[in-house]
Amino acid sequence: MKVYDVVIIGGGPAGLAAAVSAYDSGAESVLILERDDVLGGILNQCIHNGFGLTRFKESMTGPEYADRFIKEVRKRNIEVKLKTTVLDLCEDKTVTAINEREGVFFVRGKAVILAMGCRERSRGALNVAGTRVAGVYSAGTAQKYVNVKGFLPGKNVVILGSGDIGLIMARRMTLEGAKVHAVCEIMPHSSGLKRNIVQCLNDFDIPLYLNHTITRIDGDARVTGVQISKVDQNKKPILGSEFYIPCDTVLFSVGLIPENELSKNAGVELSPKTKGAVVYQNRETSISGIFACGNVLQVHDLVDFVSEEAELAGKSASEYARRGDREKDCVNCIAKDKITYVLPQKIDKNQSGNVTLFFRANGVYKNCRVVVENDGQEVLSLKKRVVVPGEMERVILTEKIIKALNGDLTLKIVE
Amino acid sequence: MKKVNLTCIECPIGCDITVEIDGEKVLSVQGNACQRGKLYVSNEVVCPVRVLTTTVKTQNGKMLPVKSNKPIKKADIFVAMEKINGVVAKTPIKIGERVIADIFDGVDIIACADVE
């Protein structure tokens, strides 16, 4: 069985940046396993612009952003296996994979990086009533049809969920000649970026119905229409508020789920909040030598931050391949008041350097403070003009603070 | 003189910006976190422009992602779409290469990916 310093599962934005970083940090043999026939992952179908503003200080399309990293990978002696699906990952870091040239084969990584990304939540996850008809797609599937395959999946569209992919698809399908009749959002606020409300909906006079959801999908073979209802503050449909929109296509843009089946099989501990691995600050999981980064670890807002996190995981994996496991002195990072989750969930005090804590608020809070506490004392406080659930926030702990920690630390928002 | 409230679309922060205008003249800009925001609203109140991203067919059957190399007038977007959808790009093509020259006022449509 061939042994690599670092084996990376997934060749999307996380896998690419992790590979380059692992190689540049000294890993001598790096392998990327990718199930698609091209590198770049979801970026290939994200043809809109706005990527790279943080990292490259310019507005790039998804394929252009991917291209930068693919060229960096190609410049280095990094092995890539395309059209290769990973079937299993073991605790000893043996990877079982399959492709049409080699059949089923095994490789082992001294370190393994999980970079499998996300899957979309589907109609089934929401239990929307109605018939099981053609014409119901996840927004990302429709995006692949339009942008990669060159098919328009429908002419009259209703979109459920105001996530960014749904908003982007509202504009995209409009540009290609479809009529988008409505975007429905069950929450009182959009879960997408404000800029996408402006440039994807307002620019094309597409109505956004907040506090509304689809309560029935009609049709025989193909969708013929949807019933939309207003919801109360408990998100329950209000009887009598229904209205009907005839349409032939329904898109679901209702969230992403990290794709962690392989991680689970390996025995990696997952967080019920992030649905991704529980990690140390170097992105090492509960299994020594298995690392995770990108959307398989936590759903990011911006690909720029995926690349940043993947570089950290790549560097850590390369160090691990060289030096092996080291003893840890672990403290937990615990999310308290008004915070949904904190990542990393664990800090190893034996490691050097500052640590950035990433977190999401559980609601919209204005003029608040983010407070880090340890051993009953406030160790850090950060003023924020506004925090919203849709935007990941960060707070930096200096090495000095970390070395002085006594027991677990907590993070909370104080209004 | 009037005040216009706009959301900047230049980056994901989405600043809420207030512009004071007198006809087509911008008197003041408030709420922007950077210079891009100022430029965006100054254009937006007079003549809104957008970078257009879409796809074109290629000779080998694959779709090629493309974009306008400069923003085009919002009002021209559907005319541009019609022109772009009538084109079949020659392959092979490299990222950054021109697919349609001078679609409007010196704006080119360029490739966003390599296609063999």
The torsion of the CA quartet A69, A74, A77, A80, rounded to 10 degrees, works out to 90
Domain A327-415 has CATH 2.60.40: yes
**Residue B21 placed within a domain:** yes
- Pairing of the two strands A330-335 and A212-219: unpaired
- The pLDDT assigned to A202 comes to 94
Whole-number Å distance between alpha carbons of A117 and A151: 25
Angstroms from B30 CA to nearest CA on chain A: 16
Residue B11 pLDDT greater than 80, yes or no: no
Instruction: Categorize the per-residue pLDDT at B26 as very low, low, confident or very high, splitting at 50, 70 and 90.
Output: confident
> What's the fold here for domain A122-254?
FAD/NAD(P)-binding domain (3.50.50)
- The pLDDT assigned to A281 comes to 96
A103 interface with B at CB cutoff 8 Å = no
Angstroms from B116 CA to nearest CA on chain A: 12
- In chain A, residues under CATH classification 2.60.40 are 327-415
Q: E strand or H helix at A243, and its extent?
A: strand A243-246
Whether residues A195 and B10 touch (CB distance < 8 A) is answered with yes
Whether residues A194 and B14 touch (CB distance < 8 A) is answered with yes
Q: Say how many domains are in chain B.
A: 2
Specify whether B57 is located in the same domain as B42: no
**Structure tokens that stand for A185 in this block:** 């959002």
Q: Give the pLDDT mean for B65-93.
A: 95
Residues 6+ apart with CB under 8 A from A263: A89, A114, A270, A277, A285, A290, A292, A296
- The one-character DSSP state at A253 is -
- In chain A, residues under CATH classification 3.50.50.60 are 1-120+257-325, 122-254
Residue type, A315: K
Model pLDDT for residues B88-107, shown as the tens digit of each residue: 999 999 999 999 999 988 99
Residue B34 pLDDT greater than 90, yes or no: no
Specify whether B64 is located in the same domain as B103: yes
Closest among A312, A265, A273 to A292, alpha carbons compared: A312
- The pLDDT assigned to A408 comes to 94
- The pLDDT assigned to B4 comes to 87
Q: What is the CATH number of the domain that holds B91?
A: 3.10.530.10
**Residue B116 placed within a domain:** no
CATH value of A1-120+257-325 in 3.50.50.60, 3.50.40.10, 1.10.150.20, 3.30.465.10: 3.50.50.60
Q: What is the CATH number of the domain that holds B29?
A: 2.20.25
| Domain span holding position B11 | 2-46
Buried b / exposed e over A134-160, threshold 16 CB at 10 Å, is: ebbbbbbbbbbbbbbebebbbebbbbb
Whole-number Å distance between alpha carbons of A401 and B12: 31
Model pLDDT for residues B43-69, shown as the tens digit of each residue: 888 889 999 999 999 999 899 999 999
Instruction: With a cut of 50, list the residues of chain A below it in pLDDT.
Output: none
ipTM > 0.85 for the complex: yes
Whether residues B53 and A301 touch (CB distance < 8 A) is answered with no
Residue type, A400: K
**Structure tokens that stand for A400 in this block:** 């000095």
Whether residues A175 and B78 touch (CB distance < 8 A) is answered with yes
A147 interface with B at CB cutoff 8 Å = yes
Closest to B9 (Cβ–Cβ): which among A44, A175, A195? A195
**Residue B60 placed within a domain:** yes
- With tokens 């105001």, the residue in question is A162
First to last CA, chain A: 56
CB A318 within 8 A of CB A6: yes
Residue B23 pLDDT greater than 90, yes or no: no
